[in-house]
């Protein structure tokens, strides 16, 4: 039983797929299959059910999984401590994020972390808030940053930073007479662009509109688009208006290419959260990054 076999086993268990595990580990699928077969042969037991094209762990696999994680964490801890001793900490940080943190928060965070730990690499995964939470619960994702707190007994959420959604329109004469704060009745006839189902932005807008007895289906929605940058391009082109994060339109407001408005009596403030599994032991590098994230945002909030 070697470490490469255990890494492969954990990857297959996490992704519930031989092909996805192969992609994650930069191996061929036959190599992944060989590692699992050799591990099962050595332990004289079946670890993975392969029936009906669905991958799941057997009872023996469930027992091995926790031990495998601990062994790999010990290996990572040894590498970390040796790197610390030699003055060169190496490793890879994997973090999943919803759209706004991915595009407007994490790049600067990575840059600051890289200044202290230049030999650490990053892998940023794009999921909506719901997918990030499900991935952490299922042990496919280590931790993430999301724009909606979706309660679950196995998760911890740490508040990082405040945000606010605003109505974003083209910077055209049509909206020149609008006040900075407008009533919800003034926008009911607008053509709307909404985010995809599962996004924190859409969940918040739907929830707040429901307080006014409005449903998205009653609005004139012309498009559902996942990418915030694409939504901004569509707004500029005149396709419609949308609710977007204030953080996403800072440059456009300065350049005068878009306009933003608050809606009276519609509180669209929210927070971004760092989310992680309550009962999973992070590796030393992951703990270092996690503490860096907390300190980074504490300093950022104190300076505001």
Mark whether 161 and 74 lie in a shared domain: no
- Count of CB atoms situated within 10 Å of the CB of 32: 23
Whole-angstrom distance, CA of residue 95 vs CA of residue 116: 18
Mark whether 241 and 181 lie in a shared domain: yes
46, 63, 86: which is the final residue of a domain?
86
Establish if 288 belongs to a structural domain.
no
Domain that holds residue 31: 1-86
Establish if 34 belongs to a structural domain.
yes
Please give the angle made by the CA atoms of 238, 241 and 247, to the nearest 5 degrees: 115
| Mean local confidence (pLDDT), 129-136 | 88
Q: Are 181 and 164 in contact (CB under 8 A)?
A: no
Mark whether 131 and 5 lie in a shared domain: no
Give the domain CATH number at 27.
1.10.10.10
Mark whether 95 and 131 lie in a shared domain: yes
Establish if 219 belongs to a structural domain.
yes
Mark whether 10 and 142 lie in a shared domain: no
Sorting pLDDT into bands at 50, 70 and 90, what band is 103?
confident
Q: Which two tokens stand for residue 271?
A: 């927070």
Which residues are paired to 182 by β-bridges? 263
Does residue 86 register a pLDDT over 80?
no
The pLDDT tens digits of the residues spanning 19-32 come to 988 988 888 998 99
Establish if 36 belongs to a structural domain.
yes
Establish if 251 belongs to a structural domain.
yes
Q: Which two tokens stand for residue 21?
A: 């595990």
Give the domain CATH number at 243.
3.40.190.290
As a residue count, the chain comes to 304
Q: Are 289 and 122 in contact (CB under 8 A)?
A: no
Sorting pLDDT into bands at 50, 70 and 90, what band is 251?
very high
Whole-angstrom distance, CA of residue 233 vs CA of residue 124: 24
- pLDDT at 248 (0 to 100): 92
Read off the pTM: 0.67
50 SS3 class: coil
Q: Are 192 and 206 in contact (CB under 8 A)?
A: no
Mark whether 65 and 104 lie in a shared domain: no
Establish if 255 belongs to a structural domain.
yes
Number of domains in the chain: 2
């Amino acid at each position: 039983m070697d470490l490469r076999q255990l890494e492969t086993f954990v990857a297959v268990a996490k992704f519930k797929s031989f092909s996805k595990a192969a992609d994650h580990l930069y191996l061929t699928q036959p190599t992944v299959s060989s590692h699992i077969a050799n591990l099962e042969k050595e332990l004289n037991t079946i670890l993975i059910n392969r029936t009906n094209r669905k991958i799941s762990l057997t009872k023996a696999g469930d027992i091995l999984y926790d031990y495998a994680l601990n062994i790999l964490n010990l290996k990572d801890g040894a590498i970390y401590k040796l790197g610390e001793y030699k003055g060169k900490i190496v490793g890879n940080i994997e973090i999943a994020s919803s759209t706004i943190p991915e595009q407007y928060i994490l790049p600067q965070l990575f840059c600051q972390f890289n200044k202290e730990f230049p030999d650490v690499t990053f892998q940023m995964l794009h999921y909506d808030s719901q997918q990030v939470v499900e991935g952490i619960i299922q042990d496919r994702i280590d931790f993430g940053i999301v724009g909606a707190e979706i309660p679950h007994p196995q998760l911890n959420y740490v508040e990082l930073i405040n945000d606010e959604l605003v109505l974003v329109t083209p910077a055209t004469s049509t909206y020149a007479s609008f006040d900075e704060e407008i009533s919800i009745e003034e926008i009911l006839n607008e053509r709307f662009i909404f985010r995809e189902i599962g996004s924190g932005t859409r969940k918040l807008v739907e929830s707040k509109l429901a307080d006014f007895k409005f449903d998205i289906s009653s609005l004139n929605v012309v498009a559902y688009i996942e990418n915030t940058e694409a939504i901004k391009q569509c707004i500029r082109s005149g396709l419609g208006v949308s609710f977007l994060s204030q953080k996403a339109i800072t440059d456009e407001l300065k350049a005068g290419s878009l306009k933003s408005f608050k809606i009276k009596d519609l509180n669209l403030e929210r927070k971004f959260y760092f989310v992680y599994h309550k009962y999973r032991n992070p590796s030393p590098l992951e703990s270092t990054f996690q503490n860096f994230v907390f300190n980074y945002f504490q300093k950022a909030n104190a300076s505001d």
